[in-house]
Amino acid sequence: MTMGTKMILLGLLLLIIGLLIGMGLLTTIGSILIVVGVVLWILGATGRAVGGRKHFF
C-alpha cells in the first residue's frame, strides 16, 4: 500500500467520522488529506519523484 493510498483512506475515514458526529474540523482535515493523497498517488503513478524520492516504503 503506497503513501498516497494510505492518506486517501485516512482522509475518507476522518471525513466520514466528521460528517457523522458533526465536527467540522475532522471534515476539513479529512478533505485535505484526500486531496494530498490523490496528488501523491498521481505523481507516484507517473513515475515522478516526490520529496526527492521515487518510492516511499
Q: Are 16 and 26 in contact (CB under 8 A)?
A: no
Ordered per-residue pLDDT tens for the chain, 57 residues:
667 788 889 999 999 999 999 999 999 999 999 998 888 888 877 776 666 665 554
Grid cell, residue 34, equals 484526500
Name the pTM for this structure: 0.76
Give the pLDDT of residue 44.
76
